[in-house]
A and B are shown apart, each in its own frame.
Chain A
Amino acid sequence: MKIAGVAQLAFAPERAYELMQDPAVLSRAIPGCEALERTGDNEYRMKMKMMLASFSGAFEGKVRLVDPQPPTSFRMVVEGSGKIGFMKGDGVLTLTAKDGGTEVSYEGDAQIGGTMAAVGQRLIDTTARMMIKRFFEKLAAEV
């Protein structure tokens, strides 16, 4: 599944970039993130719990930040798996200054497998959008 979109942040690209590399910030902003633990350079182990109405699922996985080009772009690779399936997201986030703030555009691929893939098709898109929206809302609230 392709994922693409834009989000606005009210602060400069430098600040936005910095926040998005900060594990403490990421762990607060990633919806459902319960723990984000550094395992190497720009590599983190993540524990996540997704709760959505009647659904819930625990995931363990990793987050990698690659190809850093501060403050204009980086690639984020998220992998997680749990009893209800697994997911893998790989996307590039590009930051540009706009109206005194930052416009973040993201573009990437998400792959989903296991029970989630087979039974959640009609929900994946809207859920992914909502999670991304929440992520940027939380990020915006960081300043």
Chain B
Amino acid sequence: MLTGTATYVDDIKMPNMLYAAMVRSPHAAANIRSVDISKAAAHPGVMAVYTGVDIKDVGAIVCGVELPGMRKPHHTVIATDRVYLVGHIVAVVVAKDRYVAADAADLVEVDYDVLDAVGGPEQALAEGAPAVHPQWADNIAFKFEQKGGDTDAAFASADVICKQRMISQRMVANPMETRGCVASWHAADRALTIYTSTQIPHLARTILAGMLGLDENRLRLIAPEVGGGFGCKLNVYPEEAIVSFAAMKLGVPVKWIETRRENFLSTIQGRGHVDYWEIAAKRDGTIVGVKVKIIQDLGAYFQLLTPAIPTLSVLMMPGLYNARNIHAEIVGVFTNCVPTDAVRGAGRPEATYGIERMVDVLAAELKMDPAEIRFKNFVAADQFPFATATGLNYDSGDYANTFTKALDTIGYKKLREEQATARKQGRLVGIGISTYGEICAMGPSPAVAAGGWESATVKVEPSGKVTILTGISPHGQGEETTFAQIAGDELGVPIDDVLVLHGDTSIVQYGIGTFGSRGTAVGGTAVYLALQDIKEKVIRWGSMLLDSNDVRFEGGMCIDNASGKSVSIQTIAAAAYRAMKIPTHSEPGLVATRFWEPGNFTYPFGAHIIHSEIDPKTGQVEIKRYVMVDDIGNILNPMIVDGQLHGGASWGLGQALWEHAIYDDAGQLVTGEFMDYAMARARMMPWIESSHTCTPSPVNPLGVKGVGEAGTIGSTPAMVNSVVDALAPLGVTHVDMPLTPEKLWRIISASQPEAN
């Protein structure tokens, strides 16, 4: 429901606040001959114009990932001598209002010596390709290899080997709220306050303090209400440092709000894979080995996690299958495009898409039913915890059970019969299956760039109201509700008595943030543990007040087991703060803080099945039914969970059918706004029949797994498999995304000219 009462960054107004506008390169690659700011600086209402030279003391953009032998570009927040992508900032104008700033930005004159650019990863690797970074002769940023088992032997022993090249195209994250920040400098305290639309308030504070040369504790970073992030706000961007720099120089608050155009140009994007998959199997369908070579479009420089994303794909490549022999190679390449980084699913959708497509390709080759081949290869329920060939340890699961439920829901057998009849009539009807796995609850600290634990403080106030400070940073996921539920359940207080605070580094103890489907599984667990500490103390105080050694805490009351006398948590809280008398081994107040380090990731899974039909005359795909059964462990709030799953599914369908960030050979993003970038809309969504199975996670006491990205990961392969299945009678074994009507129409008309 929209009430217009939330405070987003753009709602923040401060006295004397100025506005910044970025001057951006229209070229993907160019040397800067000169930047003439004189006209802009003289424009009425302009307070300052800064170029790369002025801001050279601000540190470069931080990437938190190191891979062996990796080339790491030094990306300054404003370009000095060369631009590497369209949208690269070459100057910033600070003016009395947004309009003046934009007008003056138009007056900055930059003389570019335009160079040849690289618009895509394969172009980057081509013979004679221009070097994105002139200091390196080729565009390879790194190569990465991972092996498990013995693929050579496995492939040699196989009866069949199927190969397929597949593309996971670039996508724009497109949160409803674009990025933006307001910085204000308090000279007396040498302290800076930044409001910014981020998923990682504390990490952003640490990074920005480093870039700006400030003491971390004198930088207060506040993520107010954040209107979606989808991974793109799991980052620190040049603008946040530039705006801070300007505020410190000028001594007044400075605001910058990203326009939608800028968002398309300069906020990280997702995917950008060209993958070469190979799967080896026995004639009976047993998968013996999987290989993949990933060419990852990294973009022009690294944002926070850029090089790590394809390594997540490698971890996920066996999917839900008992594949013991794997071999993955990644070639990370520079292009003159905006960096790729974590976008909803981050690495796992690419891998799941690959393995789920390959299983279908294999089934087609062996003339096996795609459901049967999956059953044959699933990790069995009694194999958990299951160590994968990629080094993961799947926590719990019963894949066959969940898949069976999905098959039963859609009436698989009957649907196949109907399909056979339809095919006889020449209709293109498809049934697409995706049984996906997920790596969630990021994660154990050794596996996450800046640590993977999470923190929580629970404060029972003197009145008995409960305040939770969480280190995660919800931005639409609804943990304010879920965590209040947890506290309500544990402490026996009404949910309305619980307030969840987050996102302000001066209020909340250090935390890691919200990404990698970790909010409830890691952040919620920290809350849960802090609540246990509170309960322990409540019992101690309750015992004292009831004068009993035998009390229990239940429904918000401490109850003397012998007499049945009770005292409420509210009374206990008041007593704990009043402190007329203090129990032995206790102290006043009712506050607990916990930092929780997870022992493992969690591994949700599920089965998505899509029944579709293609109009042979136009190539238009119609989704007839969409069944999804997801197992995300225990469910705390069904409505929130389904909201996440449905949102994720629409995201994944968007990738399968419509969305594509297309760069031309010169590095121009030609789908640079919503008139050409086909984001999934409500009117395009099918009805989703959604249900669950429940295999609690043993990794955390809540038994939850994580749900933010699952729908995205499961949906895409189901859609593509459905369309390829529909086209199977025409001999089609693969179609690259997005499955646009024209692409399908061309395939159909090439194979059955009489239909047109």
Q: Does A35 contact B (CB under 8 A)?
A: no
**Contact among A81, A83, A113, A122 with B668 in the assembled complex (CB-CB below 8 Å):** A113
Which residues A2-39 have CB closer than 8 A to chain B?
Answer: none
Interface bits A107-129 vs B (CB < 8 Å: 1, else 0): 00001111101110110000000
Partner of B666, one of A83, A111, A119, A122: A111
Determine which of B106, B664, B675 lies in contact with A117 in the assembled complex, contact meaning CB atoms within 8 Å.
B664
7 contacts between A and B (CB under 8 A): A81-B26, A113-B27, A117-B669, A118-B265, A118-B670, A118-B671, A122-B676
Q: Does A57 contact B (CB under 8 A)?
A: no
Report yes or no: B670 in contact with A115, Cβ–Cβ below 8 A.
no
On whether the beta carbons of A119 and B86 are closer than 8 Å, the reply is no
**Cβ 8 A contact of A118, one of B27, B106, B666, B672:** B672
**Shortest beta-carbon distance from A112 to chain B in Å:** 7
Q: Give the number of chain A interface residues (Cβ < 8 Å).
A: 14
Cα distance A87–B669 in the bound complex, in angstroms: 15
Q: When the two chains form the complex, which single residue of A114, A119, A122 contacts B26, counting CB atoms closer than 8 Å? A: A114
A86 at interface (Cβ–Cβ under 8 A)?
Answer: yes
Given contacts A111-B666, A113-B666, contact A119 B672 (CB under 8 A): yes
Chain B residues 643-686 with CB under 8 Å of chain A are 664, 666, 668-673, 675-676
Contact of A115 with B261 in the complex, beta carbons under 8 Å: yes
* Interface-central residue, B669, B670, B675, by most chain A CB under 10 Å: B670
B673 touches A119 (CB 8 A): yes
A118 touches B664 (CB 8 A): no
* Complex contacts, A61 vs chain B, CB 8 Å: none
Q: B676: which of A81, A85, A115, A119 is its contact (CB, 8 Å)?
A: A119
**CA–CA, A72 and B409, complex, Å:** 71
Contacts of B671 in A (CB 8 A): 118, 121
Instruction: Give the CA-CA distance A81 to B27 in the complex, in Å.
Output: 11
Residues of B within 8 A of A118 (CB): 261, 264-265, 668-673, 676
Which of A86, A112, A114, A118 lies at the interface centre, i.e. has the most chain B CB atoms within 10 A of its CB? Answer: A118
**B residues near A111, Cβ cutoff 8 Å:** 664, 666
- A117 B670 Cβ-Cβ under 8 A: yes
A50 vs chain B, min Cβ distance (A) = 17
Nearest residue in B to A114 (C-beta to C-beta)? B26
Least CB separation from A119: chain B residue:
B673
Complex Cα gap A133–B676 (Å): 26
- Contact flags (1/0) for B1-44 with A, using CB distance below 8 Å? 00000000000000000000000001100000000000000000
Within B693-738, the residues touching A (CB, 8 Å) are none
Binary A-proximity of B235-273 (CB < 8 A = 1, otherwise 0): 000000000000000000000000001001100000000
Cβ–Cβ contact A86 & B670, under 8 A: no
CA of A111 to CA of B667, assembled, Å = 11
Chain A residues, CB < 8 A from B106:
83
Closest beta carbon of chain A to B384's beta carbon, Å: 49
Q: Distance in Å from the Cβ of B36 to the closest Cβ of chain A?
A: 15
Q: How far is the CA of A117 from the CA of B256 in the complex (A)?
A: 25
Please tell me if the beta carbons of A113 and B86 are within 8 angstroms of each other in the complex: yes
Nearest Cβ in chain A — how far from B669, in angstroms? Answer: 6
Shortest distance from the beta carbon of B260 to any chain A beta carbon, whole Å: 10
Q: How far is the CB of A97 from chain B (nearest CB, A)?
A: 37
| Interface residue SS majority, chain A | mixed
Q: Contacts A117-B668, A118-B261 hold; do A86 and B26 have CB atoms under 8 A apart?
A: yes
Contact status B26-A113, CB under 8 Å: yes
Give Cα A118–Cα B662 distance, bound, in whole angstroms: 10
- Whether B26 and A85, one on each chain, are in contact in the complex, defined by CB atoms closer than 8 angstroms, is yes
Cβ contacts under 8 Å, A113 to chain B: 26-27, 86, 666, 668
Given known pairs A86-B26, A113-B26, A115-B261, the reply for A121 and B676 (CB within 8 Å) is yes
Instruction: Please give the number of chain B residues whose Cβ is less than 8 angstroms from any Cβ of chain A in the complex.
Output: 17
Cα-based distance from A66 to B326 in the complex (angstroms)? 57
Expressed in whole angstroms, the Cα–Cα distance for A121 and B669 within the complex equals 10
Give the chain B neighbours of A122 by CB distance below 8 A. Answer: 675-676
Closest Cβ neighbor of A85 among chain B residues:
B26
Residue of A nearest to B674 (CB): A119
Residues of A within 8 A of B666 (CB): 111, 113
Q: How far is the CB of B664 from chain A (nearest CB, A)?
A: 7
CB nearest neighbor in B for A115 = B261
How far is B676's CA from A83's CA once the two chains are assembled, in angstroms? 21
Shortest beta-carbon distance, A95 to chain B, in Å? 30
Known: A112-B668, A118-B264, A121-B676. 18 other contacts (CB 8 A): A85-B26, A86-B26, A111-B664, A111-B666, A113-B26, A113-B27, A113-B86, A113-B666, A114-B86, A117-B664, A117-B670, A118-B261, A118-B265, A118-B670, A119-B261, A119-B673, A122-B675, A122-B676
The answer to whether B676 and A117 have CB atoms under 8 Å apart is no
Closest to B676 in A: A121
Cα A83 to Cα B671 with chains together (Å) = 19
In the complex, the chain A residue whose C-beta lies closest to that of B264 is A118
> Which B residues touch A81, using CB under 8 A?
26
Residue of B whose beta carbon sits closest to that of A112: B668
Q: How far is the CA of A111 from the CA of B26 in the complex (A)?
A: 13
* A5 and B316 alpha carbons, distance in the complex (Å): 51
For residue B264, which residues in chain A have a CB less than 8 angstroms away from its CB? 118
- Write out the residue numbers on chain A whose beta carbons fall within 8 Å of the beta carbon of B675: 119, 121-122
The CA-CA distance from A117 to B675 in the complex, in Å, is: 12
What are the residues of chain B within 8 A of A85 when measuring CB–CB?
26
B745 to chain A, nearest CB (A): 19
Interface string of A58-88 (1 = CB under 8 A from B): 0000000000000000000000010101100
A81 to B86, CA, bound (A): 15
Across the A-B interface, the 6 shortest Cβ-Cβ residue pairs: A118-B672, A114-B26, A117-B668, A121-B676, A113-B668, A119-B673
For residue B265, which residues in chain A have a CB less than 8 angstroms away from its CB? Answer: 118
How distant is A8 from chain B, measured CB to nearest CB, in Å?
32
Closest chain A residue, CB of each to CB of B106? A83
Among B106, B264, B676, the one with the most A-chain Cβ atoms within 10 Å of its Cβ is B676
A112 CA / B670 CA spacing, docked (Å): 9
Q: How far is the CB of A20 from chain B (nearest CB, A)?
A: 27
Bound complex: CA of A114 vs CA of B261, how far in Å?
11
Q: How far is the CA of A81 from the CA of B106 in the complex (A)?
A: 13
Closest CB in chain A relative to B169 CB, distance in Å: 16
Q: Which residue of A lies closest to B671 (CB)?
A: A121
Alpha-carbon separation in the docked complex, A83 to B27 (Å): 13
Q: What residues of A have a CB within 8 angstroms of the CB of B664 in the complex?
A: 111, 117
Chain B residues in 8 Å Cβ range of A117 = 664, 668-670, 672
In whole angstroms, how far apart are the Cα atoms of A26 and B233 in the complex? 51
Query: Which chain A residues lie closer than 8 Å to B673 at the CB level?
Result: 118-119
Which chain A residue has the least Cβ–Cβ distance from B107? A83
Beta-carbon nearest neighbor of A84 in chain B = B26
**Least CB distance, B86 to chain A, in whole angstroms:** 7
Provide the bound-state CA to CA distance between A6 and B664, in Å: 26
A29, B26: Cα distance in complex, Å: 29
Chain A residues near B668 (CB-CB < 8 A): 112-114, 117-118
Min distance, Cβ B111 to any Cβ of chain A, angstroms: 11
How many angstroms between the C-alpha atoms of A118 and B672 in the bound complex?
Answer: 4
B99 to chain A, nearest CB (A): 15
